[in-house]
Structure 1
Amino acid sequence: MNDVFGYVAYGDNEVYHFGALLSALKLLYHCPHANIIVATDRPEFFRPYPVETMTITAGQKELMSFGWRYHFGIKAACLIEILNRADRLIFMDSDHYPYLDPTRGFRQITPIRSFMRKCEGRHRRYPVLSGKGVKIGDYTLTGDEPMWQSGILGIHRANISALTEAYAAMLAVRELTNTDAPEQFCIGVALSRNELAVSRHHLPVSDYNTRGKKAFASPRVLQFFEMYGDAPIAEQIRRAGWYRLWRTPMDLWRQRDRWSF
């Protein structure tokens, strides 16, 4: 099996690129032989490291985002391209990172079974899809389908067609719901139809995807490369392995005035 870990990092915010790189370094600490592909519009961030890059050009970003009408289309389209280079893919958003070896997750991926980060249930704004005739493959969306969060995705190459069908529906869902979630919604539905099944992941992966977590972790991501970015790659991997992005009780106390953790 060609087992691949994938990331997508694009845009002007360097935290997304350095976040993906730090996550990849943590992954290499716990799994030195990991096969990693990063789809990015800033390949220079990753070129010195033992990862494969897939360059996203400006023209491709415009096309993937439906003419900039839905930028998360870039992530969805890149997932398809990465999966074309893999048999089994474990994808993580750039604000997710492993704290132990996650390779056992590949055993959970089959042609009929995928996993995603978690099920968020029915989205209150998606019933607007009812009666609009939006399809994923031959399935007509009702808006009552559960929303699966896509910060983590485990998927088999056999499901490229399901991702392609999901991608084709995203713009219509975006324009009808006016939300940012069509990418994960459509992927979750596509991986749940017919004989396919999607379940919650069980990987040793943490994240900083809330406002409070991000406010703490993002500066530390940049600080890591300020401190160690000129060190040999092996040293960066060693230091990344135990570099802290999670908050202590004292860190939480310092953030006590924030409304969101």
Structure 2
Amino acid sequence: MNDVFGYIAYGDNEVYHFGALLSALKLLHNCPGAKIIIATDRPELFRRYPVETMAITADQKEQMSFGRRYHFGIKAACLIDLLKRADRLLFMDTDMYPVGNISRCFEAITPRQSIMRLCEGPHAWCPRLEGKDVRIGDHVLTGHEPMWNSGVLGVHRDNLAALIDAYPPMIAVHEITKIDAAEQFCIGIALSQDGRAISSHRLPIRNYNTRGKKAFASPRVLEFFKTHDDAPIAEQIRRAGRYRLWRTPLDAWPQRHRWSL
């Protein structure tokens, strides 16, 4: 099996790019020899490292984002291209990172079974889709489907057609509901059709995807490469494996007045 770990990093915020790289180094520490592909519009940042890159051009970003109408379309289109390079793909957002060996994930990825981060259940905006005749494959959206979070996504090559079916309706879902989660909503529905199922990943993966966590972790991501950029790659991998991005109670205490921790 051609098992691939994938990331997608694009845009002007360097934290996304270096977050993907630090997560990849942590992955290599915990899973030596892992095959990693990073889809990025800045491939030069990754050339020194034992990862493959898949370049995203400005024209591709324009097309993938439905003419800049929905930028998460770039993520969805890149997921399709990453899966074309794999038999089994485990994708993580750039603010996800492993803290243990996650290679066992591939045992749970089959033509009938995908894994995603977690099920968020039906959302309050879903009924806005009812009666709009928006389709994913043969399925007409009812407005009551559960949403799966795509911060982690494990999918088999046999489900490439499902990801392709999920892509075109995203712009309609986005424009009707006025939310950014159309990408993961459509992917979750597509991977749940025709007897297929999704389960939560249950892997040793942590994240910094809330405002409070991100405020703490983002400067540390950049500081890691500022401090260790000149070190040999093997040393960077070793140090990355022990590098802390999570908060202690003392770190969280100054953020106690934030509305989102």
Relative to the length of structure 2, the TM-score reads: 0.99
Hey, what's the Cα distance between the residues in 2 that align with 1:141 and 1:229? Answer: 48
- Structure 2 residue aligned with 1:6: 6
- Structure 1 residue aligned with 2:84: 84
Within 5 Å, which residues of 2 pair with 1:175-254? 175-254=175-254
Hey, what's the Cα distance between the residues in 2 that align with 1:43 and 1:143? Answer: 39
Code of the residue aligned with 2:64 in structure 1: it is M
Which contiguous aligned blocks of 4+ residues in structure 1 show a shift greater than 3 angstroms? none
Hey, what's the Cα distance between the residues in 2 that align with 1:256 and 1:200? Answer: 30
Hey, what's the Cα distance between the residues in 2 that align with 1:154 and 1:161? Answer: 15
Aligned pair count reads: 261
RMSD over aligned Cα atoms = 0.6
Q: Secondary structure at the match of 2:100?
A: coil
Hey, what's the Cα distance between the residues in 1 that align with 2:168 and 2:162? Answer: 10
Hey, what's the Cα distance between the residues in 1 that align with 2:165 and 2:229? Answer: 40
| Distance apart, 1:81 and its partner CA | 0.2
- Structure 2 residue aligned with 1:34: 34
Q: Secondary structure at the match of 2:23?
A: helix
Relative to the length of structure 1, the TM-score reads: 0.99
The alignment status of 1:15 with 2:15, answered yes or no, reads yes
Code of the residue aligned with 2:72 in structure 1: it is F
- Structure 1 residue aligned with 2:151: 151
Unaligned runs of 5+ in 2: none
Unaligned runs of 5+ in 1: none
Alpha-carbon displacement from aligned partner over 1:106-135 (angstroms, at most 9, x marks no partner): 000000100100000111011111111000
Alpha-carbon displacement from aligned partner over 1:68-99 (angstroms, at most 9, x marks no partner): 00000000000000000000000000000000
Hey, what's the Cα distance between the residues in 1 that align with 2:29 and 2:143? Answer: 42
- Structure 2 residue aligned with 1:60: 60
Hey, what's the Cα distance between the residues in 2 that align with 1:111 and 1:48? Answer: 35
The alignment status of 1:120 with 2:120, answered yes or no, reads yes
